[in-house]
Amino acid sequence: MITLNKLTTGYAKNRISKEISTQIQLEIKKGSLVGILGSNGIGKSTLIKTLAGFLKPLSGNVEIQGKMVHEMNPQQRAKYLSVVLTEKNFNGDLIGKELIQLGRQPHTNWMGKQTQGDQEIVLQILKQLNIEQLAEQMLNTMSDGEVQKILLARAIAQKTPIVFLDEPSSHLDLFNKAQLFQEIKHIVKKEKKTVVFSSHDLNTAIQICDQIILLLDNQWEYGSPEELIEKGVFQSIFPKESVFFDPKQKQFNICV
CB burial readout 60-85, b (16+ within 10 A) else e:
bbbbbeeeebeebeeeebbebbbbbb
State whether CATH 3.40.50.300 applies to domain 2-91+160-254: yes
204 alpha-carbon distance from chain centroid: 14
- Any residues with CB less than 8 A from the CB of 157 and at least 6 apart, and which? 100, 101, 103, 104, 121, 122, 125
Q: What percent of the chain has pLDDT over 70?
A: 98
Residues 91, 140 contacting (CB under 8 angstroms): no
CA gap 135, 79 in Å, rounded: 25
- pLDDT bin (cut points 50, 70, 90) of residue 57 is very high
Mean pLDDT of 9-38: 90
Q: What percent of the chain has pLDDT over 90?
A: 60
3-state secondary structure of 197: strand
User: Per mean pLDDT, which range of 91-95, 109-113, 220-224 is the poorest?
Assistant: 109-113
CA gap 91, 98 in Å, rounded: 10
pLDDT at 119 (0 to 100): 87
pLDDT at 60 (0 to 100): 96
Q: In what order do the strands lie in the sheet containing 33-37?
A: 81-84, 162-166, 194-199, 33-37, 211-216, 219-223
Q: Which conformational region is residue 217 in: left (phi greater than 0), alpha (psi within -120 to 50 degrees), or beta? A: beta
pLDDT at 67 (0 to 100): 92
Mean pLDDT of 22-28: 95
Statement: the pTM of the whole predicted model exceeds 0.85: yes
Start-to-end C-alpha separation, the chain: 43
pLDDT at 112 (0 to 100): 60
The 8-class DSSP code of residue 141 comes to G
Directed axis angle between helix 116-128 and helix 144-157, to 10°?
130
pLDDT at 255 (0 to 100): 87
pLDDT > 80? residue 161: yes
pLDDT at 228 (0 to 100): 95
* DSSP H/E element including 33: strand 33-37
- pLDDT bin (cut points 50, 70, 90) of residue 203 is very high
3-state secondary structure of 27: strand
Which of these, 2, 4, 58, lies nearest to 220 by C-alpha position? 4
On average, the pLDDT of the chain sits at 90
3-state secondary structure of 191: helix
How many alpha carbons fall within 13 Å on the CB side of residue 100?
30
- pLDDT bin (cut points 50, 70, 90) of residue 238 is confident
The Cα-based distances of 30 to 45, 188, 203, 211 in angstroms read: 21, 9, 24, 12
pLDDT > 80? residue 88: no
